[in-house]
A and B are shown apart, each in its own frame.
Chain A
């Protein structure tokens, strides 16, 4: 469904992503794990075209979307929940959710209200805080809001960048469970970028391991979990 071929991203002379290729099939949860600075976030930013690519191709549902502007990539059904959540801090929670449906120009008011109600069902905390500014929410609530805002787009694929970053263990647990539910209940394909390899692999079907701009390993989840080298480097065992 989503395919990156020889993707390269450079910041000046720094090669953050050095020509990687990977693929996500419909219905999968695929994770890209790796330590800080491995080029995971840059990869996602390259796909959604908020970062210029130095080379390579991105194919989505058979269509070359390599050089589409960011807002048209959203129209295709690719949702990117960025690292650090990027909530609109001075918009209310509800306005943030409204912004999630920004690209849905053909949606009726009733459909919008319906979707909003569904989000409030899934995230009761957001309903309680619907009229507060997004910036006043706690980290966990902001992450929920970022995901809910993404779901308002009815995405075909959701790319989540470090959704567990900076959250308390209990919240991490909740977010990971939520991602699995989005995949299973809504049928949304997931590309999950995480430093928390153990958590990511607990729900993923397949995984890629990135190190200094390259993919150094890719396999099914069971294989990755049991790989001794990986366990030592990323899973904190051994």
Chain B
């Protein structure tokens, strides 16, 4: 019995890593645009499907196909920013918000037309497992955890130690001031947004590889998970997003272990509602003013 909970805990950490990746991507997008997005999950799934297309339709090597999807989704992120945000920078914020809702629906429908409505299966990127006692650890799980940590530290380094990264942090705090010290705000916003998209897509690829299945309909659900994780962590805090992601992943899997797998998605909603009622600024966020 103990082994069962332990393996669910390990599943939770794996799942949490994936959520953490998506959450830091989401947090980065929120930071640069100063606005939540409702298209994130759909954009992420679309990106994973791009990789799937290279693999299943064009017959490329699986890892190569998924790696190729990353730069392509980076460019796609630029396009999304142009469509959903660029034209509306000086308009009411609500416009961008609505645009992301619409764009999400569009992309989901387009994905269904292009890739079909059903589940598509993706083989695991790394096969094999290790057994410790009665605990089975898949290589892919270890891979996900390690890759996540690498991405978190790489992002941290980027934001704290590079010119572009510090510029993105600066513009997230004060766009006018950023312009006045010479930041090309338009370019930096596009860069930050696309980087967030790529992080999310990488998370999506890991998810697809872990569960061996993807479908265009997964988008809104994934977007909600990423949103819950960042709200839990405090929406602009990158470390908060990581911790929020891990808490969500572990809680979900423990709920599955204690109740049944049908309760998985309820957990995110419950966490979201509790955080918004009890501490809207999240665990590590600045106090929110309305």
Contact = CB atoms under 8 A, between A and B. Distances in A.
Interface stretch (B106-114, B174-182, B246-254): B174-182
Contacts of B179: 48, 50, 70-71, 74
A100 interface: yes
A176 B39 CA distance: 50
A72 B182 CA distance: 7
B117 interface: no
Given A91-B166, A98-B166, A99-B167, A149 B176 contact: no
B163 interface: yes
B180 A91 contact: no
B169 interface: yes
B170 A153 contact: no
B182 A71 contact: yes
A216 B163 CA distance: 44
Interface string A38-61: 000000000010100000000000
Between B169, B176, B180, B186, the greatest number of chain A beta carbons within 10 A of the residue's beta carbon is seen for B180
Contacts of A81: 180
Contact of B180 (A70, A75, A90, A95): A70
B170 A82 contact: no
B182 A90 contact: no
Interface in B32-62: none
A80 B180 contact: yes
Contact of B184 (A71, A82, A88, A149): A71
Contact of B183 (A71, A89, A149): A71
B173 interface: yes
Contacts of B163: 102
A86 interface: yes
A37 interface: no
Given A91-B170, A102-B167, A86 B184 contact: no
Nearest to B179: A70
A69 interface: yes
Contacts of A90: 169, 173
A80 B176 CA distance: 11
Nearest to B163: A102
B176 A82 contact: yes
B181 A50 contact: no
A100 B181 CA distance: 6
Given A50-B176, A86-B174, A102-B163, A149 B169 contact: no
B138 interface: no
B185 interface: yes
A201 interface: no
Interface string A84-118: 00111111000100111011000000000000000
A103 B180 contact: no
Nearest to B160: A95
Given A98-B166, A99-B166, A99-B167, A89 B173 contact: yes
Contacts of B169: 88, 90-91
A102 B177 CA distance: 12
A49 to B, nearest CB: 8
A88 to B, nearest CB: 5
Contacts of B183: 71, 99, 102
A95 B166 CA distance: 8
A6 B184 CA distance: 27
A103 B177 contact: no
Interface in B150-201: 163, 166-167, 169-170, 173-174, 176-186
B182 A86 contact: no
B184 A69 contact: yes
Contacts of A80: 180
Between A50, A71, A89, the greatest number of chain B beta carbons within 10 A of the residue's beta carbon is seen for A71
Given A82-B177, A86-B177, A88-B177, A103 B166 contact: no
A164 to B, nearest CB: 19
A82 B180 contact: yes
B17 to A, nearest CB: 27
Interface in A11-66: 48, 50
Nearest to A44: B180
B18 to A, nearest CB: 28
Contacts of B174: 86-89
Given A82-B180, A88-B174, 5 more contacts: A48-B179, A69-B184, A80-B180, A88-B173, A153-B182
17 contacts: A50-B179, A70-B180, A71-B182, A74-B179, A80-B180, A81-B180, A82-B177, A86-B176, A86-B180, A88-B170, A88-B174, A90-B173, A95-B166, A99-B166, A99-B181, A100-B181, A102-B167
Interface of A: 48, 50, 69-71, 74-75, 79-82, 86-91, 95, 98-100, 102-103, 149, 153
